[in-house]
Amino acid sequence: MSPRSHPSKRADQLVVLGQATPRAPGEVWLVGAGPGDPDLLTVKAVKALALADVVVHDGLVSEDILALAPAGARKLSVAKRKSRHAYAQDEINRMLVAFARDGLTVVRLKGGDPFIFGRGGEELEACRAAAIVCHVVPGVTAALAAAASAGAPLTHRGSAQAVTFVTGHAAAGLGPDGQARWGEPALDWESLAKTNQTLVVYMGLSAAPAVAARLIAAGREAATPALVVENASRRDERRIATTLGRLAADIAGLSGPALLMIGEAMALADVGATVDAQPVFALEARA
């Protein structure tokens, strides 16, 4: 493939061509990669990946999914989970804009849905500010996959008339002892403690004791059914059925990513072997 026939199409030509060739700006695709199982990608996500000159992805995005990008596309990981080498959000924003200005088609691949605790909004704003066209492709957010594989509906006639997605963490500061402390999200615990609704907590593992204590203090029964799903839709998915009162103790061994799901409808969760944790992987095996 010569640079002449594909003037803007290769990320690895960036350095070679530099600023010598004026280019039409490329575009950014903010793409939801879903919870892990490649078969939970949307058709549109697969099509967008096939267009990529460069894929800028989170640590949570699997190799199986990255393999759907063209072989020549450059793949950059910007957020290894719990790694010190993660990029700051403004660096990622600048990177997306810079690649697009260089004429590249940029796929920003994010776990789940880009607009559910994915900071997709900030990346979209950065593109808008730089007059770069930005498309958003929704993805299956982790809560939907976790509910599906456990057979625990997020809404349920008679026991869950609402579902709320919250984060277990807000931006945290350091405590007086110099240690990082829980950044308590500004949530209306009184309202979240009401019955007949499901509460899904993203990024809630380390905050679980505090979240459970707040909800119980605000009046939610300690006996309220709770479900925790780690690695939803992945081969190593783990599900724990518990109650709000026992939640923190029962998840002590998990290292995430995991969701806390609290509410009466979680009583329907089947955490046993009878529910297939990875229906599609199983289908592949059968084919």
CB atoms within 10 A of CB 163: 18
**Min CB(80)–ligand SAH separation in Å:** 13
Give whichever of 104 and 199 is closer to ligand SAH, judged by the CB atom. 199
27 near ligand SAH, judged by CB under 6 A: no
Give whole-number Cα distances, 181 to 96, 169, 170, 206, in Å: 32, 10, 11, 11
Provide the terminal-to-terminal Cα distance of the chain, rounded to the nearest Å: 36
By CB under 6 A, name the one of 13, 198, 224, 231 that touches ligand SAH. 231
| Pairing label, strands 225-230, 258-262 | antiparallel
**Min CB(255)–ligand SAH separation in Å:** 11
38 near ligand SAH, judged by CB under 6 A: no
Q: Which range touches ligand SAH (CB under 6 A), out of 38-46, 66-74, 101-109, 229-237? A: 229-237
Is the bond preceding residue 209 a cis peptide, omega within 30 degrees?
no
**Min CB(177)–ligand SAH separation in Å:** 25
Give whole-number Cα distances, 134 to 180, 188, 232, 263, in Å: 35, 33, 29, 37
Per CB under 6 A, which of residues 48..87 are in contact with ligand SAH? 60
Tokens of 81: 């989970």
Give whichever of 7 and 209 is closer to ligand SAH, judged by the CB atom. 209
- Tokens 């993203």 found at: 202
Q: Give Cβ neighbours of residue 98 (< 8 Å, ≥ 6 apart).
A: none
Would residue 82 show up in a list of annotated catalytic residues for this protein? Answer: no
Identify residue 158 by its one-letter amino acid code.
Answer: G
**Min CB(35)–ligand SAH separation in Å:** 4
138 near ligand SAH, judged by CB under 6 A: no
225 near ligand SAH, judged by CB under 6 A: no
CA distance 192 to 220: 8
Answer yes or no: are the C-beta atoms of 191 and 259 closer than 8 Å. Answer: no
By CB under 6 A, name the one of 8, 197, 224, 233 that touches ligand SAH. 233
By CB under 6 A, name the one of 48, 117, 126, 197 that touches ligand SAH. 117
Q: In degrees to the nearest 10, what's the CA dihedral of 214, 217, 218, 222? A: 90
Identify residue 279 by its one-letter amino acid code.
Answer: P
Would residue 58 show up in a list of annotated catalytic residues for this protein? Answer: yes
256 near ligand SAH, judged by CB under 6 A: yes
- Three-state SS at 84: coil
Q: Which range touches ligand SAH (CB under 6 A), out of 38-46, 174-182, 253-261, 265-273? A: 253-261
Among 53, 58, 102, 113, the one annotated catalytic: 58
Give whichever of 204 and 225 is closer to ligand SAH, judged by the CB atom. 204
Among 64, 80, 90, 188, the one annotated catalytic: 80
Strands of 106-110's sheet in order across: 74-79, 54-58, 106-110, 28-32, 134-137
112 near ligand SAH, judged by CB under 6 A: yes
Per CB under 6 A, which of residues 168..197 are in contact with ligand SAH? none
Give whichever of 73 and 229 is closer to ligand SAH, judged by the CB atom. 229
Identify residue 260 by its one-letter amino acid code.
Answer: L
Q: Which residues are near ligand SAH by CB under 6 A?
A: 35-36, 60, 110-113, 116-118, 141-142, 146, 202-203, 229-234, 256-259
Catalytic positions, written as ranges: 58, 80
